[in-house]
Structure 1
Amino acid sequence: MFTGIIEDVGVIKSLTPTGEDIRLSIDVNKLDMSDVKLGDSIANNGVCLTVVAMSSNGFSADVSHETIKRTGFVAYKAGHKVNLEKALQANSRLGGHIVSGHVDGVGQVLSVTTVGRYVEIWLKAPDELAKYLAEKGSITVDGVSLTVNQVNGAKFLLTLIPHSLQETIIGSYKVGTKVNLEVDVIARYLERLIMGDKAAQEQNDNAKSDISMAFLAENGFLR
């Protein structure tokens, strides 16, 4: 479990194929590794990975075929920078929102506009994630907990403060950049909850949820 508050920006040192999977080696910058041990979880651009080896200046983790397929890791190369966050501890502040480290889809940057000291970024999420986007709701972008400021279909607007731009890889975003997205976990559970008894019914792989804006309105979730 994570909060979406980035602790460091690391650099991919190497990606070594191991069959259909890869061994990822990361060099850290300021991340405190003194309390990290084998088996611990560290989020890399929002992807929860298990530490399988440690070095003097970083760590290694295995990335499964499933993770490669569902995230931006498919395009990552040595030298690529990644947002890093160690797993949440019970006595830590929940400064962002509850983040699982399980990416729901890959989005794309549509525009980057500087407004004074801030930067506004429009992104496009996969169509199937549009129902989870809510104005002033939370979303995780490459592991960063952010607030959605506007929604237009599957497009959404983020407003980044200077600190976020400096302390994460978001400051390097440009039109076309692919990003890992994780929707608010509360929205996921709400979807299942309002399905009621239908949640127990098996669906084929191509089946889509019948939860729509009209359904939500009819059942009192929207006004």
Structure 2
Amino acid sequence: MFTGIIESAAKVVLLKKDNTNLHMSLSCDLTQELKIDQSVAHNGVCLTVVAIDGNQYTVTAIEETLNKTNIGTLKEGDIVNIERAMKMNARLDGHIVQGHVDQTAICTEAIDNDGSWIFSFEYDSKLNNVTIEKGSICINGVSLTVVDSKVNSFSVAIIPYTYEHTGFKTLSVGDKINLEFDVIGKYVKRLMSL
């Protein structure tokens, strides 16, 4: 379980294909605090630490993960938002995030709003995920509030701190991002369709 409050940025230092799997080695300032078998969200994708070597650690993404997220599009040198699993006795500063990406979306607009930024995204509505204005959404692991909600698109407003401390500062129009929709909203939508 995660909160969507990003702890650090990790740099992809090595990508290694192994049959249908992808081993991804990263470096970040939290490496020394990680343990093998620990769950860490990478751009909102829950992956298990399988090796630690100095200031680098390695996680493995299987074919299912590569097919449903943007992990397979990463390149060496890319920056990834990371968050360790939450402690059950800690504040929930973001919202309930499982680290299970529902689908991807494409950034359709990035507007510098003179002190903040507005990012817009379009996703495939046939997968039956929904957003609501002022509802929660997790984009590449970052817990955010929906500003403008439509059937297959939405926008979010980014404050300077979030822009500077996450991958939003490198996000461009056309980039593929990971989406995890609000877990409570998903259950309500499912119950309403029965």
Q: By the TM > 0.5 criterion, same fold?
A: yes
Shift of 1:131: 4.4
Any gaps of 5 or more consecutive residues in structure 2? Answer: none
Instruction: Summarize deviations over 1:43-70 as a string: whole Å, max 9, x none.
Output: 0000000011112113111110000000
User: Which of 39, 42, 46 is 1:41 aligned to?
Assistant: 39
Partner of 2:139: 141
Partner of 2:18: 18
Larger radius of gyration: 1
| Structure with larger RCO (C-alpha < 8 A, sep 6+) | 2
- Which aligned segments of 4 or more residues in structure 1 are displaced greater than 2 angstroms? 30-34, 128-131, 191-196
Q: Which amino acid aligns with 1:136?
A: K
1:60-209 equivalences in 2 (<5 Å) = 60-129=58-127, 131-196=129-194
Q: Which amino acid aligns with 2:153?
A: K
Q: Secondary structure at the match of 2:169?
A: helix
Contact preservation (8 Å) 1:130, 1:154: no
TM-score norm. by structure 2 comes to 0.95
What is the percent sequence identity of the aligned residues? 37
Shift of 1:153: 2.1
Aligned length, in residue pairs: 194
Distance 1:32 1:63 in 2: 18
Shift of 1:193: 2.6
Q: Which amino acid aligns with 2:184?
A: I
Distance 1:125 1:33 in 2: 37
Distance 1:75 1:131 in 2: 23
**Is residue 2:30 matched to residue 1:31?**
yes
Distance 2:158 2:21 in 1: 34
Q: Secondary structure at the match of 2:168?
A: helix
Distance 1:174 1:19 in 2: 31
Distance 2:127 2:56 in 1: 34
Q: Secondary structure at the match of 1:66?
A: helix
Distance 2:157 2:56 in 1: 31
Q: Secondary structure at the match of 2:32?
A: coil
Q: Which of 134-143 and 70-79 deviates more?
A: 70-79
Q: Secondary structure at the match of 2:87?
A: coil
Shift of 1:33: 3.4
Contact preservation (8 Å) 1:82, 1:169: yes
- In structure 2, relative to structure 1, the CA distance for the partners of 1:160 and 1:129 (3 Å cut) is farther
Distance 1:176 1:152 in 2: 19
Instruction: Summarize deviations over 1:113-150 as a string: whole Å, max 9, x none.
Output: 11120011111122235642101000000000000011
Contact preservation (8 Å) 1:39, 1:50: yes
Partner of 1:57: 55
Q: Which amino acid aligns with 2:58?
A: S
| Greater share of residues in strand | 2
Q: Secondary structure at the match of 2:134?
A: coil
Any gaps of 5 or more consecutive residues in structure 1? Answer: 197-223
Q: Which amino acid aligns with 1:116?
A: D
Shift of 1:184: 0.4
Contact preservation (8 Å) 1:38, 1:54: yes
